[in-house]
A and B are shown apart, each in its own frame.
Chain A
Amino acid sequence: MKHSIILLVLFIGIKLNAQTNEFLVKFKPIVKQQELKLNESFNLFYILKDSTQITKLKFYISAIQLYNDKELVYTEKNSYHLIDASDTNSYFINLKAFPNKAFNNIKFNLGIDSATNAKGALGGALDPTKGMYWAWHSGYINFKLEGISNLCNTRNNGFEFHLGGFSYPNNSLQTIKLDVSNNKAIIINVDVAKFLAEVGLGKTNMIMTPSKTAVELSKQAAGIFSIN
């Protein structure tokens, strides 16, 4: 009896293992259809002949789920990822224990939810040494974009967007849902130039506090994610 139970457990274990896999999701920051290169100038508006470059891009992706229409197919465990343009390895997310099931859309958060924000010190991607935690007003920075553009009338023409805030009324967390057409690896473009073009760098170029503006800009940031 005892042996057969052990065998059964082993069998189920092997069976489960055979049905699961790893699945790759890539977040690919782009500028003008090309993969983003930090510290390299580009022209944001052809007509303005501006010179713009990005020096830093970091953002959190969390709570990744896959759906088949409305049916939940997969939820990633401990789903917190820091995408950092200075480390292109961070673009790749390996979803573990992935089921052999059809799906047609992906859902994830841009940023860190308020329950996680309330938990205190956390490690891994969420370690406060990652430069994505506000000390003067506790909370994670969800999306950080810095650079230089002659469109900005600021010190050294710099722009800095630190978007975050997890409590009412300035909760800036964004949920993004994208249709996926096939079952191969998913590549998600993050069109950084689109964000800068829509923001109006001449007027809006320094946002570093949880605020109404940060919420609006977070919505715009959510709009730059699309399936390749």
Chain B
Amino acid sequence: MKKLFVISALIIIVLSFKTIDDLFVVPKNFPKPVYDFSNNPLSADKIALGKALFYDPILSKDNTISCSSCHLSYTAFTHTDHNVSHGIDNRIGVRNAPALMNLAWNKHFMWDGAVHQLDMQALAPISNHDEMDETIENVVSKLQQSNKYKQLFYKAFNDSNATGEHTLKSIAQFMVTLISANSKYDKVIRKETGYSFTENELKGYNLFKQNCASCHTEPLFTNNEFENNGLTTDKFLNDIGRAKISQNPNDSFKFKVPSLRNVELSYPYMHDGRFPNLQMVLFHYTEDIHQNPTLSKQLKKKIVLGEADKNNLIAFLKTLTDEEFLQNPKFQPERY
């Protein structure tokens, strides 16, 4: 009897892993994901619906802006060369569109952590006045009138009538599939044959571990925390960051630590996109830290890097570029 119980428990475990396995493989060098798949079990049809929605401007008030307007697959789903996000009617937002990858491991979303669960993230850009300026009620009513979406929702949920829940869950499903774990760095760490760091990259990696890794922690290259990284305050935006959400003055000017994966392509940098290149980022961290009561403790001691060090560090950061992720045809829009 006991044996039977153990066997059936094992079968259940194997089966439950298998459904995630097919569509969501946890990379060998990654921890367990944070996202709770039991509340939103993945299916190919739901992911396909989510992708269709991700690429569809129907999510915006005047049907002109889609998620992909600011999150382009070829640049790690960020808006390269744009410092803050753009919206309908040529409106300009206040923060830099972040790269989208490895979201199943994120504990918080948005620069200030305003969103605590991936399913609900899409509501933020949909309703933001300077982005899509639309309501989820109206998005759902537009989807309910579309024959294309009636079919897609039926395939995904056995119900052709779109709901807020199903819309958000399918967008989240597409987003969790955006896994970047095949950069040169990953292949070296996983000891895959034929991959090793160059001398410069290795020096850069050691400098990275000494100076950057306490916040940009491997393997996700973020500690999932909020930090004040010593930027001067932009007088026009006057963005207090995390404190806006937590209402705790100790969180003033803190922003979510972004992952550095694919950082080569996600320029410009910082929450407001103020630095156009990595050289300026390193100048900031070594020479230009603005003292402030909420400054991250890791930055209170000056970081010293010579020119050669900086070049080596940048060489290492470029090993985080994941061409397979950037060119993955699964992430490209379907033609319906």
Contacts and interface: CB of A to CB of B under 8 A. Distances in A.
B164 A128 contact: yes
Contacts of A121: 40, 119-120, 164-166, 168-169, 172
A119 B116 CA distance: 10
A120 B136 contact: no
Interface in A111-167: 117-123, 126-131, 133, 135-139, 167
Interface string A194-228: 00000000000000000100000000000000000
Contacts of A126: 165
Given A120-B36, A136-B128, A129 B117 contact: no
Measured as residues with beta carbon below 8 angstroms from the partner, the interface class of chain B is: 20 to 34
B118 interface: yes
Contacts of A136: 114, 124, 127-128
A119 B117 contact: yes
A126 B166 CA distance: 12
A127 B140 CA distance: 11
B137 A122 contact: no
A128 to B, nearest CB: 4
A6 B307 CA distance: 82
Contacts of B165: 121-123, 126-128
Contacts of A118: 116-117
Contacts of B320: none
A11 B114 CA distance: 54
A131 B126 contact: no
Contact of B123 (A117, A128, A167, A211): A128
Nearest to A137: B114
Nearest to A128: B164
Interface residues of A, number: 22
B39 A120 contact: yes
Contact of B172 (A120, A131, A133, A137): A120
B245 interface: yes
A175 interface: no
A138 B247 contact: no
B282 interface: no
Contacts of B119: 120-121
Contacts of A117: 116
B94 interface: no
Residue from the set A130, A136, A138 with the largest chain B CB neighbour count within 10 Å: A138
Nearest to A211: B247
29 contacts: A117-B116, A120-B119, A120-B120, A120-B168, A120-B172, A121-B40, A121-B120, A121-B164, A121-B166, A121-B168, A121-B172, A123-B164, A123-B166, A127-B164, A128-B120, A128-B165, A129-B137, A129-B140, A129-B163, A135-B123, A135-B124, A135-B136, A136-B114, A136-B124, A136-B128, A138-B114, A138-B116, A138-B120, A170-B247
Interface of B: 36, 39-40, 114-120, 123-124, 126-128, 136-137, 140, 163-166, 168-169, 172, 245, 247
